[in-house]
Amino acid sequence: MYALVDCNNFYASCERIFNPKMEGRPVVVLSNNDGCVIARSEEAKLLGIEMGAPAFLNEEKFSKNNVAIFSSNYALYGDLSDRVMKTLAGFVPRLEVYSIDEAFLDMHNMQHYDLEDLGCKIRTTVKKNIGIPVSIGIAPTKTLAKMANRYAKKNKVKCGVHWLKNKEAISTVLQCTAIGDVWGVGPQYAKMLQRNGFKTAYDLSKAPDDFVRSKMTVVGHRLLNELRGIPSIDWTFEPEDKKNICCARGFGKLHTTKKDVAEALANYTANVAEKMRKQKSCAKRLHVFVQTNAHRPDDPQYFRSITLSLPVATNNTGMLLKHAMYALDMIFRPGYNYQKCGAIVLDLIPETQLQFSMFDKAENGKSKKAFSVLDTINKGIGKDIVRVARQGFERKFKLRQAFLSPRYTTRIDELLTIKI
């Protein structure tokens, strides 16, 4: 048995913990640059505020309904997520942290428990210890656990826990899950399946194997087995090293000059370099892109990207900056309003597997040490005070974050103060 524990409206719930006045009030959390709605409390959902809705198109709805608005505060959400995961880990021998707000719990060999009771206990403990409400789905496969979880949320079942205990329970949930709401069925597959007469997860579970295999590849076939109760998706108990690392962001305002785009790109590149050093990897390739704002139809549009193969796999900021700037030289064209750029490092390999060609100097030990010191300092201060020159100091590309809450749990100077 697998249990999927999922935090309800996670980012909105995080903001609410430190603002008890928000209880009962609609809460939304916005994406970077305060662009889109990426989390909504139940009250906000009832107002018809859609996931991904542009904030500026909803201003009236926000003000009319006294909606509490927050910029995303990942330092806060990350820390609260860790606390939730630690609490969950106390209940089961093993768990897989699937995303910032979800974990699969290994419920095999737990026959001596009534799993529904156990679920309720988990839920109350997380609520009491951290203040985050969770829903729990329990089933013989990960996909069915996801589905049970969704069912628990949608139908507000007792204690937010739903256990697919037997064939009948599985069949019921399969029948009332629309095809597009199945984990692993996205918009494209949903359309294709509907065209072929499949309406519910139940229909899909009865589909011929070769049909699914040919239309949805081996991934779809795994899904089919999962729906039939045969576990086909492996556990990933230890988070694996990333194979790619990306840093790409829209600018707070449009840029026209290469200098401004270069400054942003330099910072994003430094960011991926630091993340690579953290997992002790080096990149074999670097991908850089620039683009204009596709939502401005009157602006001339431009998108271009380039992938460079690095002469030696590296995680050295200076080396990567050199190549990133070269890449920008190749793809930048003047005369456009640039809205976004990004740096992605690809084909990451462990530092220990570095291969040097006959003519390369080994990665200079001094520079390696310097960057490790830089990483430590920046981590301690909490922002990248120490930079290499190319990153600039103007930071014209910085994000808009008009509604940012304090980092209550990770910064001593942003602790909650209580007046008594």
At closest approach, how far in Å is the CB of 418 from DNA?
A: 32
Residues facing 245 on adjacent strands: 345
Are the C-beta atoms of residues 264 and 251 closer than 8 Å to each other? Answer: yes
Residue type present at position 405:
S
At closest approach, how far in Å is the CB of 124 from DNA?
A: 23
Helix, strand, coil share (%) of the chain residues, nearest 5: 45, 20, 35
Binding site for DNA (CB under 7 A): 31-33, 35-36, 38, 52, 54, 56-57, 98-102, 146, 182-190, 217-219, 242-250, 253-254, 275, 285, 293, 295-296, 307, 309, 339-340, 342, 344
| Alpha carbons 322 and 319: distance in angstroms, whole number | 5
At closest approach, how far in Å is the CB of 140 from DNA?
A: 18
When the beta carbons of 168 and 240 are compared against DNA, the nearer one is: 240
At closest approach, how far in Å is the CB of 111 from DNA?
A: 28
Number of H helices, E strands in the chain: 13, 12
At closest approach, how far in Å is the CB of 227 from DNA?
A: 13
CA dist list (Å): 353 to 276, 282, 312: 14, 9, 11
When the beta carbons of 16 and 275 are compared against DNA, the nearer one is: 275
When the beta carbons of 112 and 295 are compared against DNA, the nearer one is: 295
When the beta carbons of 10 and 332 are compared against DNA, the nearer one is: 10
At closest approach, how far in Å is the CB of 390 from DNA?
A: 19
Q: What 3-state DSSP class applies to 70?
A: strand
At closest approach, how far in Å is the CB of 103 from DNA?
A: 10
Contacts of 155 (CB under 8 A, 6+ apart): 162
Q: Is 88 left (phi over 0), alpha (psi -120 to 50) or beta?
A: alpha
When the beta carbons of 43 and 102 are compared against DNA, the nearer one is: 102
When the beta carbons of 50 and 360 are compared against DNA, the nearer one is: 50
Residues facing 163 on adjacent strands: 138
Q: Select from 400, 271, 414 the least CA-distant residue to 345.
A: 271
When the beta carbons of 307 and 367 are compared against DNA, the nearer one is: 307
178: which DSSP letter?
Answer: B
When the beta carbons of 94 and 243 are compared against DNA, the nearer one is: 243
| Alpha carbons 320 and 327: distance in angstroms, whole number | 10
When the beta carbons of 1 and 310 are compared against DNA, the nearer one is: 310
At closest approach, how far in Å is the CB of 80 from DNA?
A: 14
At closest approach, how far in Å is the CB of 293 from DNA?
A: 6
Q: Is the CA virtual torsion 81, 86, 87, 93 positive or negative?
A: positive
When the beta carbons of 289 and 332 are compared against DNA, the nearer one is: 289
For 129-187, strand residue ranges (E) read: 134-139, 161-163
For 1-153, strand residue ranges (E) read: 2-7, 27-30, 37-40, 68-71, 95-99, 102-106, 134-139
At closest approach, how far in Å is the CB of 240 from DNA?
A: 7
Is residue 253 within a helix (H) or strand (E), and if so which, with residue range?
A: strand 245-255
Is residue 163 within a helix (H) or strand (E), and if so which, with residue range?
A: strand 161-163
| Alpha carbons 318 and 329: distance in angstroms, whole number | 17
At closest approach, how far in Å is the CB of 238 from DNA?
A: 13
Q: Which DSSP string do the residues of 259-274 spell out, in sequence order?
A: HHHHHHHHHHHHHHHH
When the beta carbons of 13 and 33 are compared against DNA, the nearer one is: 33
| Alpha carbons 157 and 134: distance in angstroms, whole number | 12
For 269-367, strand residue ranges (E) read: 281-292, 303-314, 338-350
Are the C-beta atoms of residues 339 and 292 closer than 8 Å to each other? Answer: yes
